[in-house]
Chain A
Amino acid sequence: MREETAVITDCDIRTAYGRGLACCWEGLWEGRTAIRPCTRFDTGHFPSRMAAVVDGIGYGGRSSLAARMLIPLLESSKPLVPCDAVPVLASTTGEIDLLEKNVLEGTGDAAESRLDVFLEKVKAAAGIKGGGFVVSGACASSSAALGFAAGLIQNGKHDCVLVAAVDAVTEFVFSGFSSLMALDPEPAKPFDRQRAGLSLGDGAGFILLMSCSRAQREGRAILGEISGWAMTADANHMTGPSRDGDGLKRAIQKALDRACVSDGDIGVISSHGTGTVYNDSMEMKAYTAVFGRPVPLYSIKGAVGHTMGAAGLIETAIALRVLRERVIPATIGLRDADPEAKNWVSSEKRKLEKSVVLLNNSGFGGVNAALVLRQPYAERQ
């Protein structure tokens, strides 16, 4: 079977910075966090009040929080999305506020919050008629979905896949993460010596992938390539990552092998970097095991919060911008790097020296996903 290259031809995101990749990049460039006291619901009983929420989207709307973030992006994308694209939805809780409403007010049907129901709304918004699937792998959902999409394209099963991802900061998830004592009372500080947990964030977006041959045939701009991907599990604990980072290390090595690149080719790591003590330490152990020497890395979760199932997609969109601008964003929230991360992470912007990005996410249950992103082939020549 002829192997095709999976290329990204279009993307758009929505974060607490606002709608669009440009305003998110601007926020990162300016070193400004979008995490602030959350007023979407009463946070008074929780150890933290901090979250990165999209302005103007609150409870009481005609549709769910997630729908109001994602559907307008897809409707705007309709002219660009072929109707034969395979739709893939990545999320952890989707339209969970519909369930909240059913429990609290006795209205509606909790089953309407199911992810397969939301998939149909995604398809309608994007103008796609049939098929598709949901990918749910905790906070690695959208990076896993991008890996699935790239695999379908590389193996010639499909030549166009639309990956959409969304998760919203709801009382449901905020209370849940609070119950696990996972939230920092201050805005998250990834890889910082004083880090104390994560901050949740609203996130939505889509990425359109095609085979390179179809993209060229249709005259589409190519923003980048997904040349490697892998998923593994720690098989360790439901909420605690493996202390030695072995699961993530294996995912990274598999993704590098699939991309036919060595660890020396990686110019920057877009890390999961949640700001929890254990996650960030686990990641540093994995990176040290793979690379053996410091490689520039960054996390955007001190800026846009942890966007849960949407994290991988949003971080991929930002990584494409990193490749284009050849600038590595500062890790916002970082003041004093943990000794494990010193010389890897920075609170300043840096120049990108090599044009290959490693991106990784991890999640509850010990899920790990890794992607290798490259510049478009033409720009590498």
Chain B
Amino acid sequence: MMLKRRGWIKENSCGCSGKGREWRYTDLRSLCVQLLADSVLAHPIDNFGRFNRESRLIVLSSALALYDAGIVYGRDRKQDIGIVGTSTDGSLSSNLDYFRDYASCGRTLGRGNLFIYTLASSPLAESSIHFGLQGPLVFLRYADDPEERMLAEAEFMIRNGDASALLAIVFDSQKADCHYLSGGMP
């Protein structure tokens, strides 16, 4: 039986489904403080200030999903949990941010802190790093029924032995919906 828990974040509110908790927020930084105080986050998110928007939404929804599932994590503790994600635009907004900045600087110097987000998998990687997730890490985009197919693929990966558990995340620049999937009870 597949264990499923869920954390979500959208404009002004976030929550987790299994525990039935919700938070309202005005900005993501103050939300981080609140989630740290409520033990949803085990420790502050390093470099949160330089994350792009998708990375911030993904790491916070991941925190909520892990909290919903009762998964404990820590700075020195790495776990065999993977992370897969899907979105319509991939890294399009980050690609534009990077290249517009590069062009505006005279096409002589790019900014590395913007370039690293021009991979569709990078926002997922930020979560992998913060939570110590060492399973598969990949962005998938299906042509048909993309969200349902990605979630189905995540379940298949667990059944197929590719990971013992996965965070499967549907995201865009405004919201993120993170499903924690596991082949057994935590």
- List residues of A whose CB falls within 8 A of some B CB: 42, 45, 92-93, 96, 99-100, 103-104, 110-111, 113-116, 119-120, 123, 130-138, 144, 151, 155, 157, 171-172, 175-180, 230-239, 247, 250, 258, 363-367
Contacts and interface: CB of A to CB of B under 8 A. Distances in A.
A180 B112 contact: yes
Nearest to B159: A155
Contact of B99 (A42, A103, A131): A103
A231 B125 CA distance: 13
Given A92-B119, A231-B82, A136 B138 contact: yes
Contact of A238 (B82, B116, B120, B157): B116
Interface in B88-143: 88-90, 92, 95-96, 98-100, 102-103, 107-112, 115-116, 118-122, 124-126, 128-129, 131-143
Nearest to B83: A233
Interface of B is mostly: mixed
A364 B141 contact: no
Given A136-B90, A233-B83, A238-B129, A178 B96 contact: no
Nearest to B131: A235
Contacts of B124: 365
Interface string B138-178: 11111110100100000011001110000000000000000
Contacts of B161: 258
Nearest to B133: A235
B6 to A, nearest CB: 22
Contacts of A131: 142-144
Contact of B122 (A151, A157, A365): A365
A173 B90 CA distance: 16
B99 A99 contact: yes
B78 interface: yes
Interface residues of B, number: 53
A232 to B, nearest CB: 6
Chain A interface helix/strand/loop/mixed: mixed
Nearest to B115: A176
Contact of A176 (B89, B98, B139, B157): B98
Contacts of B126: 238, 365
A45 B108 contact: yes
A235 B125 CA distance: 7
B137 A133 contact: no
A366 B125 contact: yes
Interface in B6-26: none
Contacts of B116: 180, 238-239, 364
| Most chain B beta-carbon contacts within 10 A, residue among A134, A155, A239, A247 | A134
B125 A367 contact: yes
A92 B118 CA distance: 8
B46 to A, nearest CB: 10
A234 B134 contact: yes
B128 A233 contact: yes
27 contacts: A99-B99, A103-B99, A113-B92, A114-B90, A116-B146, A119-B141, A133-B141, A133-B149, A137-B121, A138-B119, A138-B122, A138-B125, A144-B136, A157-B156, A172-B98, A177-B115, A179-B109, A180-B116, A231-B137, A232-B137, A234-B134, A235-B134, A239-B112, A364-B119, A364-B122, A365-B121, A365-B124
B122 A238 contact: yes
A231 B163 CA distance: 9
Contacts of A92: 119-120
A250 B132 CA distance: 15
Contacts of B99: 99-100, 103, 172
Contact of A133 (B82, B108, B120, B142): B142
B89 A111 contact: yes
Given A237-B129, A238-B122, A366-B125, A134 B140 contact: yes
Contacts of B137: 137, 231-233, 365-367
Given A119-B143, A136-B119, A137-B138, A104 B89 contact: no
A131 B143 CA distance: 5
Contact of B128 (A45, A136, A180, A235): A235
- 4 closest cross-chain pairs (CB), A and B: A365-B125, A176-B115, A231-B136, A179-B110
A111 B92 contact: yes
A233 B134 contact: yes
Nearest to B119: A138
Contacts of B92: 99, 110-111, 113-114
A367 B110 contact: no
A42 B120 CA distance: 27
Nearest to A236: B129
